[in-house]
Structure 1
């Protein structure tokens, strides 16, 4: 229904010029009015646009905003502001606050650095496990060249030039930074900020970037488990820091993500129930799981063979990190990325490939795929993921016991007391 227009431009001109002894108000509909006060110099009255509103029912106090001065702000412009304010009120937002925000943006344009910082602090820190890495890359690739400039003035050539400064040396990282930049700006667009959208047209070829090579390695094959045996024997020899030895043992046992163990604390392990509960904030698929109504936690039974090691670690590091200290993901990844060389393997593999190894091994042992997926902490897709909230603890316990027995056999036969049964308190040799 159209707003009834009670005010006219003619009436406003008259209000501005006619002699006044006291302040006079000329009302339009919807809370809008023009308030005139006698001019001290006698050269016309001062006319201000005011808007009266309430944030609740009539029992709530009336509030007033000054939109601006007439004739600087015309009747049509004042009515447009009134309609925007009514939309904000319907959304539960105070028009005064919203107008102040708009003014602050106009006075101080949002810079590129501010946009990227806002995305990191307000989105990535809660949604991305590598948020700190994203921030570091922005600070190296984007901020030194464009950070202080207003976002609204940056065009496609500016982004390309900034990214090209390092892309020749780091072509894979360049693509990673570009994708995160575009995602940050999409988030910015949802917040109502205006900027040149051609940044979304930039592709890898524009900046000389490359896709990361896909590596999908498993240490077990249909005809040979030799690479996994090599790794088990190398771990048994123990020529490494205890941190990494324990990390490898637990990665191979549970098929967990590296970050789940890097960040694991002793309070996550309940030896009475025999369950390791990975908190939602350590789970890579937390957002997907919680969107379906799950807690986002991953629950894994503790096999009997690994329990002594976990008990020893929890006692030694009570109240702290399970592995005794915190290590950055880059440090752990770099260390794990060289194991294949030390073992003399021809094909490169990394720590994440141990998850694929566990998954393949469990499937070869006849464990049901849905149990394997749940054990790995994958988000179950489709109808099953929506309606099935089971953690499959009995099935996962049976699968892990079967897997640990298989590891024992691979290392030194069924009659051997293998490393998985012992707590590791080794010194670096």
Structure 2
């Protein structure tokens, strides 16, 4: 999906998604807005949300919770609106942001199946999105708009927490938070301009 009209259609679908489990819609919004892996969204708790000394929000996922463990801990700087939205959930400790009705993680299948109706309505029977597709969509739009957004490929790859080897793979926490906040803020603002709302 690299067409703006298709992206607007997807945003509308996510915002109008109906389910007895309200956290499914919120998880879809988070996945689209941030481009996190499904496992991180499913298991994201209040413990992962941090606020630095300047009042800026970021997420911290220890390396043992990440698919790409060789990259170490994952730090993602968040736009203030997203951080405040998560803070408004009023959670403590290990409480999940996007849990099911029993407070357990939503399944990967539940989140991907939530996109099934969108696929059949908009994309036809031969093409379908899964939750992981949000990462591909974010990557595509970030890369295609580089002349306008001032981003570079390394920043986008680091934000998506892809494996980066050698000297380029070494980074410090504060640099990574600032870099990922830059990418995610551009992406979130772009989605907002097309109708996304928290």
TM-score, normalising length: structure 1: 0.40
Structure 1 position 276, deviation (Å) = 0.6
* Contact 1:254-1:375 within 8 A present in 2 as well: no
1:310 Cα deviation from its structure 2 partner = 0.6
- What whole-Å deviation, never above 9, does each CA across 1:207-253 have from its counterpart, x for those lacking one? xxxxxxxxxxxx22xxx222211111122224233211111111111
1:300 aligned counterpart, secondary structure = strand
Please, which of 161, 179, 194 is the counterpart of residue 395 of structure 1? 179
The structure that has the greater radius of gyration is 1
Cα displacement (A) at 1:338: 4.5
Distance 2:116 2:153 in 1: 28
Change (3 A) 1:234 1:336: closer
Contact 1:337–1:351 (CA<8 Å) still a contact in 2?
A: no
Task: Determine if contact 1:235/1:248 at 8 Å carries over to the other structure.
Answer: yes
Any conservation in 1 of the 2:13–2:118 contact (CA below 8 Å)? no
SS at match of 1:277: strand
Instruction: Please report the TM-score for the alignment, with normalisation by the length of structure 2.
Output: 0.82
Aligned residues: 181
Pick aligned residue for 2:152 from 365, 368, 371: 368
Give the deviation of 1:409 after TM superposition: 1.4
Residue 40 of structure 2, aligned match among 260, 265, 283: 260
Paired residue for 2:98?
A: 323
Alignment partner of 2:18 out of 236, 239, 258: 239
Which residue matches 2:84?
Answer: 308
Alignment of 1:189-268 (within 5 A): 219-220=1-2, 224-240=3-19, 241-268=21-48
Contact between 1:227 and 1:345, CA under 8 Å: does it hold in 2? no
Counterpart CA distance in 2 for 1:309 and 1:274 is 11
Structure 2 match to 1:134: none
Q: CA deviation at 1:349?
A: 2.0
- In the alignment, the residues of structure 2 paired with residue 235 and residue 384 of structure 1 have an alpha-carbon distance, to the nearest angstrom, of 36
Which ranges of structure 2 fall in alignment gaps of 5 or more residues?
none
Alignment deviations for residues 108-153 of structure 1 (CA, whole Å, 9 cap, x no partner):
xxxxxxxxxxxxxxxxxxxxxxxxxxxxxxxxxxxxxxxxxxxxxx
Q: Tell me if 1:419 matches 2:194.
A: no
Of structures 1 and 2, the one with the larger relative CO (CA 8 A, separation 6+) is 2
Q: Which runs of 5+ in 1 are unaligned?
A: 1-218, 290-295, 412-417, 421-429
> Is this contact kept in 2: 1:255–1:376, CA < 8 A?
yes
How much has 1:375 moved relative to structure 2?
0.6
